Amino acid sequence: MAGRKNKINYEDIDIRYTIQSSMAPSEGYRYRQQINGVMLYFNDAKDPEKSIEIGKIEAHKLLLGEAANAGYPALAVFDAHHVILDIGETIYDFEKNDFSDAIYDHFEVPSMDLLIVYGLEILPQYRGSEIGKYAIRDLYNNFISGCGLMTIIIYPSQLETRVPGIGESDYEWYNDMGYKTMEADEEKSIYKLLGYYTSMGFKYIPEISEDLLFHTPAKINETFNKIKLD
């Protein structure tokens, strides 16, 4: 459970990524990569190989460019996951097989792939050291290649219906995250999360979506670029 805050340095953290894709006949899955990152904190000077898990980050990379080259429609790629399909219906024009006019009104999108940040979790006692923003930057550095747009889903984890209950480790993580003690009011919690990500430089454009934030690597974003992994 949550205890006292531990001030830590991002340089003592590794993120171990696993990428899941499919070679099955369904190209909707073949052109979607599920990216799961586990944040490991190496804090034991006596045993530098010892680490503790302090957070998680989840993302999806849609290989829309490769799908198009193979003659496969973007709709099938988005349709591989119901949340991703909702995003596609918001920002994509499936008839044109391209991003929507509303996106192009606000962003230059130089390439077709899309990076979606699906979730970010950090244990309570390790918050306050800006680890979250460095994790976002690390994810960006590793997976933005080929992507014309990056988007973040704005929905607090404590409000999601996918409350763990399948296995003991999920239940322990749910308790360790202190979800039961977090803000239960949807409007207040979303507003707080919105402020967190916009402070990193992600753009909130309510006429496109009130549930998504955006960043494009095609344009200099001074706020986002201040997040440096030296």
Mean pLDDT, the chain, integer: 87
CA 178/CA 191 separation, integer angstroms = 19
> What is the domain partition of the chain in residue ranges?
10-225
Is 60 exceeded by the pLDDT of residue 3?
no
The amino acid at 108: E
List, for residues 77-96, the tens digit of each pLDDT value. 999 788 899 999 999 999 99
158, burial (CB in 10 Å: exposed 0-12, middle 13-18, buried 19+)? middle
Is 80 exceeded by the pLDDT of residue 210?
yes
